[in-house]
Amino acid sequence: MMTWKKFSGEPIRKPLLDEVSTAIAKEYALGNKLKVCIGTDSQVKGTATDFATVIAFIREKKGGFMFIHQERSILKMSIKERMLAEVQRSIETAYTLCDLLDRYHVELEVHADINTSPMFKSNQALHEAMGYILSMGFVFKAKPEAFASSTCANKMVQ
């Protein structure tokens, strides 16, 4: 079971679906319209790779909040494998939440920390990542629009 926490560091003790459902219901009761953006970033640290996946809840014109999952892998990966491992973690999270988000009519985007410019190494995985996310039926965003992965998750993996 994946362990999630709030941005404050407080662990989420309920199942993720229950916690997300409670958060959405609370936001709706306050009159807020939400969009959820899911993204993962990673950083190689010696022989390990740290991953951070975030579920960013964006309130229309009122900021947002996020849930975070962090994990470490000791598998050696090429840049392309690592980018696709990030996308896989985001898709798994999105797939877990998509029925609940549909029920509440919450828009969902999956963000990939992959640069659209061929000048960057991460671009090697762009077409596969985009195909993977789109084939799962999710909205795809890459850099510079992929803030859930390139900004939010990036802050949690450093």
Q: What is the DSSP string of 97-123?
A: HHHHHHHHT-EEEEEEEEESSTTSGGG
Taking only the tens place, the pLDDT of each residue in 48-64 is: 999 999 999 999 999 99
Q: 129, 112 in Cβ contact below 8 A?
A: yes
Bridge partners, 66 (sequence order): 56
Domain that holds residue 81: 5-157
Torsion sign (Cα): 10, 20, 64, 136: positive
The pLDDT confidence band at residue 1, using thresholds 50, 70 and 90, is low
Taking only the tens place, the pLDDT of each residue in 34-45 is: 999 999 999 999
Helix (H, G, I), strand (E, B) or coil at 48: strand
| Domains identified in the chain, total number | 1
Q: Residue 47 maps to which CATH number?
A: 3.30.420
Q: Would you give the end-to-end CA distance of the chain in angstroms? A: 23
